[in-house]
Structure 1
Amino acid sequence: MNAEKHPLSPFLPLGARVLMLGSFPPQRVRWSMDFFYPNFQNDMWRILGYIFAGDKNHFICPGEKRFDRERIEAFCREQGIALYDTAEEVVRLKNNASDNFLQIVRPVNLAALLEAIPICSSIVVTGQKAAETLSGIIGVETPQVGKSIEADFAGRRYTIWRMPSSSRAYPRPIEWKAEFYRKVFGL
């Protein structure tokens, strides 16, 4: 099996206060846009649309099965949200997007990411694989879903949030998941 390198550059807007880390993007065939959480079946942008605009479809291009990348990027800049993943290189053991079948070859260089967003104070992981990987990088216990811990890393203190997966493979309604994400943004 061949190792696959991350296909996206980190999205690190000036003024980012929150760094959201997933595990790794799905295969390109599943993408509806060239950006993070690109699979139209993934609910991340529906969750954030629901929380911030009161509309699960806020980031969906009307009449299409794709997300509006420009609107999402503008939203992330406005809200101070940076995006990347906990793995920079993986092997897909079953040729799919499931975290259960991702073998991480090279984890993210977290210190370099955080250095690029100096006022970031919160790190959000959006699934079990991401949570376990981040915990290993930082050297802390993996937080429970919906909980946060304080951790020191690279000379700074961060609040580490463990959110439920936005994947539909994690079978909970958007509204249920949104209640956890509201805590991160103080809403």
Structure 2
Amino acid sequence: MKEEQQPEYHPLELFLPERARLLMLGSFPPQKKRWSMDFYYPNLQNDMWRVFGYIFFANKNYFLEPDNKKFNKERICEFLFEKGIALGDTAMSVVRLQDNASDKFLEVVDPLDLSSVLKKLPFCTAIVTTGQKATETLLKMIDTSVPKVGGYSEFIWQDREMRLYRMPSTSRAYPRPIEEKARFYEQMFKELGLL
């Protein structure tokens, strides 16, 4: 096996505020050379934190440092903790089939242990996947239908009624305006009482 085909293990701890009601799951972080901080959605080319800033603070740059060269991890974590939003990824180890950050070229080796995560989140009633690869990976773990983008399907997890939301990717590889992506996320946050 060539060196580039060796599994890459997830470099971040799950962010699990005990009172979280929503678990957001992406696929896997980009390569470290693309990071602007040591946290989820670290790539400046990913609009997740701009979408959050736009929705909750009417300022897409709210979570950026003044120099606009990195995101402010402390501000993001404080906000997520206050709102009750947990973060993780659906893959714990992957093989990158190409030397880039594209989900299309990720082969999941070890998926997330969803049961273990949800035990740590007793108040969680919704999971959102942020992109196609994350959705495909999670659907192998739960029994529900594939929600349309922006919508949700319902499922039962160990006697807990839950929703699976499917959101558009915030990667710039999917070139929709921030405002358009934000509309999907905003509707979900409203439905869950987070906005």
Is the CA contact 2:144–2:154 (under 8 Å) kept in the aligned structure 1?
no
Task: Name the % identity.
Answer: 57
- The equivalent residue for 1:73 is 77
**Counterpart code for 2:78:** A
- Structure 1 residue 14: Cα displacement: 2.1
Question: How much has 1:141 moved relative to structure 2?
Answer: 2.5
- Alignment size in residue pairs: 187
Q: Select 1:8's aligned residue among 8, 12, 33.
A: 12
Any unmatched runs of 5+ in structure 2? none
RMSD: 0.9
Alignment correspondent of 1:180: 184
Supply the distance in 2 between the matched residues of 1:154 and 1:97 (Cα, whole angstroms). 34
What SS does structure 1 have at the residue aligned with 2:14? coil
* Poorly superposed stretches of 4+, deviation over 6 Å: none
Matched position secondary structure for 1:20: strand
Q: Does 1:112 align with 2:93?
A: no
Q: Is the 8 A contact 1:20 1:81 kept in 2?
A: yes
Tell me, yes or no, if the aligned pair for 1:27 and 1:96 is still in contact at 8 Å.
Answer: yes
CA deviations on 1:17-50 (whole Å, 9 max, x unpaired) are 1000000000000000000000011000000000
1:93 equivalent among 89, 92, 97: 97
* Matching residue of 1:54: 58
Given the two structures, how large is their TM-score scaled by the length of structure 2? 0.94
Q: List per-residue Cα deviations over 1:84-134 (Å, max 9, x = no partner).
A: 000001000002110100000011000111110100111010000001111
In 1, Cα distance between the equivalents of 2:122 and 2:102? 32
TM-score w.r.t. the length of structure 1 is: 0.98
| In 2, Cα distance between equivalents of 1:28 and 1:147 | 32
Matches of 1:40 and 1:161 in 2, distance apart? 24
| SS of residue in 2 equivalent to 1:95 | coil
Unpaired runs of 5+ residues, structure 1, are none
